[in-house]
Each structure stands twice: as structure tokens, then as C-alpha cells.
Chains A and B, each alone.
Chain A
């Protein structure tokens, strides 16, 4: 237990003294996972709406694939993204392996199905009559989708939280495609693994605490928006 106590003290010390290395790692975590979440929203929300409203052959299969994707193991994503981005790989010419851009890409692949799947569920829980009523009242298709999104915005915030929570906490893909390079691709989770393997358990605990604080603050803010909108 003393170890956990020491770790908590170390966390406070690192945060309060403004340890540059820790701040850099923390900011990069936010930047990478924030970008990946935003990108996955841009792709996942339209796709989720499309899957919820449109009827086309293969729709059932696509939804099954999305649902499977919601549970993609990050190490599997990491492995395949790495292979594609290798110098010898299909996208080797991009030369983004072992850069934050590659981490954003991998985390996007992890988060996009989560956002898509939860958007799909959020839109589908709006009663069908609501849609028909909107159209009946003379709304255009675009207006109808707009209204639908307004109705579904609360559960969709849950999609944001789940997507962000999924990527800020994953370590397997970030380790593989980022390489855990100091001052470049080291994020909170990979740094925690490294410090543990170095035997610096107090620093590892400190980094974990910072990660927990961040995920808590982000979710707290999103929950606050969600609940305020409800009341």
C-alpha cells in the first residue's frame, strides 16, 4: 500500500511542479486521442445515420461488421496499421509510421466503429412515427435528419464518451504504431508500461492517476453537457 501512497504523492508532485516531460506526454495523449475521436465523429455519425435510415442490400451485414468493430482489439488494429505503414507496406510512401499521425489513424480505426454503432442505436431509438410526422408536416429530408439529430443528441454524447474513452485508454495500438518514442510518440499509457518495465512503479502510478483524472474530467464535462441539455 505504501507503494500506492508514494505513487499518489509522486503524481501530485509531477503535476504541481509542472514536470515538462509529463506535461508533454499528457498533452500528446489528449491531442492524439482528441483528433482520433473528432475524425471518428466526422465519419461515424453520417455512417451511423445512413445505416439507421437507409435501406439497401448488405445493410444487415454492414451493421454486423460495425458491431463487431466496436470490440476490435487494439493490438490487432495496431498490427495491421503497422504492416500497412511499413516502409515496405502499401502506404509506406506516406512515411508516417512511428509518428503521432499514425497513432491518430490507428485510434480512428478503433473509435470509428464505436461511434458509428452508438449513433446507429441513438437514431434508431427515436420513434419511427416522429420521422413520419416530420415528413408529414412538410419537412425536407435534410430538415428531418436535422431534427432527428436534435432528438438523438443525448445518446450521441454517449458515443463521444465511449469513443474517446476507448482510445485514450488503449495501449496496444499506440505502442505498435507509435513506438513509444520519447518526446515524439510517448503517451500516458505507453509511458506507464515503460516506467513499469523500468521498475519506476511510483512514476507509473503517477501517470495512471493523471490518465484517470483526464478521463474523469472529459467524461464529467460531457456528462454535464448531456444532463444540462436534458433539464
Chain B
């Protein structure tokens, strides 16, 4: 009996051990939106086939993704919070910030629009939502979306607080569900909104405003941040994202499913030129 258990154990451990080998692995810390949209499911196998590296993706909120990279727990970061990114780059923990792609955020809410924000600028819309104390669901999780939302409140001169302001503490998908359920406003990236449009009755009320641009950048992790950082692997993934072929894949991603692309590739562009025709 005991011998049989030991044999079974050896087989099981042998199997998991093989999967644990990671001398050639690269760790990418990224946001939930790149994963939830399905983009990484397309890009990762391409990268692995091309480079020979194994890529491990940690998709967490942007705040956590950057913090993990800064601690040296990842080799490369793909995130969307330009102001925060620049802080890490200025500190020197993350290197070589390069723009990869963008899409945009939209403010959605109940079709009857109690705060009357339809067609306004994003900041003006936030002011009206707060003034009318209409329910608003916030991610509240330091994700890229949450960081932008807080910046919008700040620009609107509003301290969001009170029963109307609901912090979900969850991913975008869950947050959309809560906003839908409560008939509340929320800020969402367009890709996740499209993915949920079947189950969410909320309508897009504010869009195509410059502050709502959602710019994704890739940064390599400074090898000085900690032991065992795969700097070459991190750079290989960053270069892969910016290569013409990958940018082509990004350009057409999502068209088949949603009838429109989810991301616009912008390798080589400057931040101030993004979104200009």
C-alpha cells in the first residue's frame, strides 16, 4: 500500500516538476484588460514560438503589476497608467518605456441618464454625476481604470464620497455587472464593455474625449531591482510587441468577434500624437 502511494506520488511530482522548470521563462506583469480581452491568448503563443522563451503572464491591476515589476518579481510590464509609469521610470526601477497600443475609455450609465451627462466632456460629466449624487461604481482597486477615474475626479474638483459612490474592489467585468444591477454610472475600457454588451443594458454616454485615451506601454525591469531577473527575456518580449508583425496582429484583433478592432497599435509614436487623425 505504502509503496503504491510512493509510486503514485513520484509520478505526480515528476509531472509537476517538469512544468516547474523555468530557466528560459519570462514573467510579464500586466493588467486584467489585456487578458480579459483575449489579446494575450493570441500574442503569447506567437512570442513563445518566435523566441523560444516561455512566457508567464500575471494579470493583475495596473498598480499591482507595476509594484511587482518594481520589486523585480517580473521581467517586463505591459500596463496602462502613463502618469504612474513615468514615476517608476523616473525612479529608474523600470526602463525603456515604449508605447504599444491604445484604445479608449467610455463613461456608461443608465439610458435615462439622470445626471444628464450625455455628450459632455469627461470632467464635466464627473462634476454632474457628483452634483446630482447619481450612483457611480468605482473599481477601487488601483487598476489603470481606477487611477484614471481618480484623476478625473481630481480634475473635476470632486472628492468622491458618500452613499452614491460604490467601490467594487473587483475587475472590470464584475464592476460592469454591479453598475448594471444598480443602474449606476461607471468608467470602463471599451474592450471590456464590448465583451459584456450582451449582458449589460448601460449605454455609452461620454466618449472620444482626450482624457479618456487608454494608452498601453511596455517597460523592461531594471535588473538591479532584485535577483534572478531575466532582462534579456524581458527586452525580447518588449521588442516583440513593437515589431511590425505583432503590431499588425494587434490592428486586426477583435474584428472577427466584435466587428471593430479593440486596440490601435502605436509603436514608435509620441504620446502627444496618439489619437490625432
Contacts and interface: CB of A to CB of B under 8 A. Distances in A.
B195 A100 contact: no
Given A99-B20, A198-B195, A199-B198, A181 B56 contact: yes
A35 B196 contact: no
A155 to B, nearest CB: 17
Contact of A95 (B44, B59, B198, B228): B228
Interface residues of A, number: 33
Contact of B174 (A41, A93, A101, A197): A197
Given A98-B27, A179-B57, A199-B173, 10 more contacts: A35-B9, A35-B16, A41-B5, A99-B22, A179-B58, A181-B56, A182-B57, A184-B54, A194-B36, A196-B174
Contacts of B173: 196-199
Nearest to A98: B56
Contacts of A41: 5
B30 to A, nearest CB: 11
16 contacts: A31-B15, A38-B5, A39-B9, A86-B71, A87-B227, A87-B228, A98-B56, A98-B58, A182-B57, A194-B35, A196-B174, A197-B171, A197-B173, A198-B36, A198-B38, A198-B195
Interface string A73-98: 00000000000001110001101111
A68 B65 CA distance: 33
Among B20, B56, B72, B195, the most chain A Cβ lie within 10 Å of the Cβ of B20
A88 B41 CA distance: 29
A184 B56 contact: yes
The 8 closest A-B pairs by CB, nearest first: A99-B20, A197-B173, A35-B12, A101-B20, A100-B16, A197-B171, A199-B196, A87-B228
B3 interface: no
A132 to B, nearest CB: 27
Contact of A87 (B5, B41, B229): B229
Interface of A: 31-32, 34-35, 38-39, 41-42, 86-88, 92-93, 95-102, 104, 179-182, 184, 194, 196-199, 201
Interface of A is mostly: helix
Contacts of A104: 13, 16
B171 to A, nearest CB: 5
Interface of B: 5, 8-9, 12-13, 15-17, 19-20, 22, 27, 32, 35-36, 38, 40-41, 44, 54, 56-59, 71-73, 170-174, 195-196, 198-199, 226-229
A34 B8 CA distance: 10
B41 A182 contact: yes
A170 B268 CA distance: 44
B12 A38 contact: yes
Nearest to B74: A87
B23 to A, nearest CB: 8
B106 to A, nearest CB: 16
A31 B15 CA distance: 8
A181 B57 CA distance: 6
B44 A182 contact: yes
A146 B5 CA distance: 17
Contacts of B22: 95, 99
A129 to B, nearest CB: 27
B60 to A, nearest CB: 9
A172 to B, nearest CB: 14
